[in-house]
A and B are shown apart, each in its own frame.
Chain A
Amino acid sequence: SQTIHQWPATLVQPVGSPLSLECTVEGTSNPNLYWYRQAAGRGLQLLFYSVGIGQISSEVPQNLSASRPQDRQFILSSKKLLLSDSGFYLCAWSVLFGTSGGDNTGELFFGEGSRLTVL
Chain B
Amino acid sequence: AQSVTQLDSQVPVFEEAPVELRCNYSSSVSVYLFWYVQYPNQGLQLLLKYLSGSTLVKGINGFEAEFNKSQTSFHLRKPSVHISDTAEYFCAVSENLGGYNKLIFGAGTRLAVHP
Q: How many residues of B contact A (CB 8 A)?
A: 25
**Could you list some 8 contacts between A and B, CB below 8 A?**
A32-B100, A43-B108, A49-B102, A94-B101, A97-B99, A107-B32, A107-B94, A115-B41
B101 touches A105 (CB 8 A): yes
Closest to A115 in B: B41
Q: In the complex, what residues of B have CB within 8 A of residue A88's CB?
A: 41
Q: Which of B36, B94, B100 has the most CB of A within 10 A?
A: B100
| Interface pair B107/A43, CB less than 8 Å apart | yes
Judging by beta carbons under 8 Å apart, are A112 and B51 in contact? no
The answer, yes or no, to whether B83 is at the interface (CB within 8 Å) is no
Describe B's contact surface by its main secondary structure.
strand
Using a CB-CB cutoff of 8 Å, which residues 54-107 of chain A contact chain B?
88, 90, 92, 94, 97-98, 104-107
Instruction: Give the interface of B toward A (CB within 8 A).
Output: 32, 34, 36, 41-46, 49, 51, 90, 92, 94-96, 99-103, 105-108
| Inter-chain CB contacts under 8 Å: number | 59
A119 lies within 8 A of chain B by Cβ: no
Q: Which residue of B44, B99, B102 is within 8 Å of A98 (Cβ)? A: B99
Q: How distant is B43 from chain A, measured CB to nearest CB, in Å?
A: 4
Q: Is the CB of A107 within 8 A of B90?
A: no
For residue A113, give the distance in angstroms from its CB to the closest CB of chain B: 5
Provided the pairs A51-B100, A107-B49 are in contact, do residues A112 and B43 lie with their beta carbons within 8 angstroms?
Answer: yes
Measured between alpha carbons, how far is A35 from B32 in the docked complex, in Å? 21
- Smallest CB-CB separation from A45: which chain B residue? B105
